[in-house]
Structure 1
Amino acid sequence: MWCSLTLLICQHVTRQKWMQVQLLASEEIIDLSLRMLLIIPFQLLLFSQLMILRALGNEWSVKYSQLNLCALKGSTVFMNGTYTQPTRLTVMNRFWLINPVQGKESTDLRNEPGYSDRVKYLGDEQKHFSLRLSDVKKTDEHMYCFRIITNKDKEKFLGFPGVTLTVTELRVETPEKVVEGNKTILVCSTTCSLSDAPAFIWYKNNHTIDTNKNNSNTLTLHPTKADDTGSYNCAVRGYEQLRSPARTLNVRYRPKNVSVSISPSGEIVEGSSVTLTCSSDANPPVENYTWFKGKASVGNEKTYNISKIRTEHSGEYKCKCSNEVGHQDSIGVTLTVADGQNKMLKAVIAVIIACLSSFSLVLTVVLLRKKKKYCWSEERTVKHDNVAAQSAANDAPQSNSHLANQDEVQYASIVHSRKAESSAVRATEQVLYASIQHQRDKVVKNHQEDDVQYATVHFPSSHK
């Protein structure tokens, strides 16, 4: 009973304290709300005043078009900025500087070593001020800030942070292994994203590749061919002279154009030696060779040698070439081995036939020459006898006075008896003149040459 009464008293006291706490909290919340109502209008008034001052140009501001630039090594880059100033100040000087350090006097970029002939400032009355930096180098990677000097020494302004410049070069990236028939992608890469979204040009062996006006920094070869092997470069349009270093693309392919050659060529005689050679075009070079006679494997070298060949070696041979990409078989070639005895017999017969032919030719030439010589000798004998007889008959004494003035000329007509013929046939008879030297008994003064006599010899015509 006592415990129950105590519990009731405790609950009543706790309830009263809780009500007091709630009442105090409500009063604090009301007080805080009243204070906020007084502060918010003041803040709005202050903000509006700041906006008005800024609009009237009573504070400094600098705005860069880009805070991060990526430029190609050797190219020209522009850094653009605009600024505002308090109207109470007059700008006496403005310039660009690199890597500003607090407490250190700023140096005009034009006075920095290595920059004087590559820097040019561009500006206008609208408070635009730009920097043009030509022939960009890797050593130009700095932060570039805008500095303004006014008519008051303590009123200087630095546009910090400034423009961060990153310089990159072009590089051609290719897959580690390129296989004929697959898809190959070449990439013209940089260490940063070029700021002007440039168009790219591709070159193979120093010749421009027609990519169907695709100005991407990738070059796709699909399907890749063996003749795609070569040296590749890329460049940015407008800076064609700034090409990337050449990168060689090596296209691998399985053996092709596999062929077999036989040495010596021609008919193979039993007992001789023969060499079969396997040739192909492959990249990488052929690693394994396999020779087949029919379906049986007979060798595993590039050449297959057969010494003291026999007739059972006759048959069809082919070779198989393999490399890490694939393999290819040659077309079969037939090897025919001739019997040695038959070959010797054929050779003997050929020699005999050649000897007989030579002997017959020599004999024919000799007979023709003898016949020709006999006919010529007989003809000369007949002519000589007839002319001599006629010359003796007509040789009569002449007066000395006539012989002294001219040589004696005699003509002899020799006519063979024959049947009477028509005058037309006689007209066609051949007339021959023979020169006859006749020694005179008497010497004519002032005449030292032998007399010349002519004899006319008539031969019967062939007309009947």
Structure 2
Amino acid sequence: MSTLVQSQDDWGVTYTSTEICALKGSTVDIHCTYRYPAYLDHLTVTAEKTLWFTKQEGDQPVDLRTDSEYEGRVEYHGHQKNCILRITDLRETDSAVYKFRFITNHPTGKYTASSGVTLTVTDLRVQVSRPSVYQFSTWAELQCHSSCRLASCPSYVWYRSGEKIKEGISYTGYFGPEDNYSCAVKGQEDFQSPSVYAPKVPSALVSPSGEIVEGSSVTLTCSSDANPAATYTWYKENGNPDHKPLKTGPQLDFVSIQSSDSGEYYCSAENALRSKRSDSMSINVKWKGTIYMNAARLTLIILILITVFLLYLWIRKKKTLNSTTEPSDPVQTVQSDSDPEYENLTAAQTEATEEQEDLV
């Protein structure tokens, strides 16, 4: 802890500490004292306004109580020239230099400290060291860290899957594949660190989805939930008996994929606690010529279907025309002139006609 005294004759501000490290989500108090002359120009001097600020508009300090970023989280306390700034629910964006200003009833009685208190807001993180990975468990040492030095040398509380397991600066032991561990400063157990855990089973995706044509651009993406963050490695099963890695990184890119790239692919996700692999995914690259041949076959089939359909329409139309020209009654058959019976019948009819004319 260091003390900073700023003064100008009888005017000044003294900060109890010039650097403060506080946990994200916690509450911090920044202390100071200030002074001014008791009498000036035959006037009894009194402080009429005090404020804390981190930024200015023009040459005017912006009172934290009016700053929207601190709305509902800032309180001023103090009496008899003592000043306390309290900030609750600390955020990482609260990291800044905080300065104090006071205004008296004297026309020239204003004082603004040129320096202030540097506040650093940090969260806790679990660091994994000396890991040894076995088939069913991992042995490692865990330590609780912050990005700045906390006010005192704290003791830590350790948790496994949310349950308290011990107190101490570090934790050493065996970890199961599904275990997760976190820590907190003793006395501030509400502000636990993010948990560390081995990678979950990674997922492997191909983009774009659907049919893959030779010469197209294809990307395989691997992702997994892990803390510390996982590193990714891609492998191809077919034609790779030694399972040598193809590439390190979450993405495997094919700028112009070829038929020879067809096969089974998988990725692994690894951090200090363990490694896990994804399910295999099948990549089937189709030759462009196959696409063209399939298109030609499809075109030929369509043309044949159209031809058959047109032929069907023509036959149907022809049948319709024939049915409209046929008589509704059957046609009587007339004997030809060369038939003897027909000739006798005709002669008889002629004689009968002549006899009728004679009678007339």
TM-score range, shorter chain: 0.3 to 0.5
Greater gyration radius:
1
So what's the TM-score if we normalise by structure 1? 0.37
Higher RCO (CA < 8 A, seq sep 6+)? 2
Bigger helix share: 1
Bigger strand share: 2
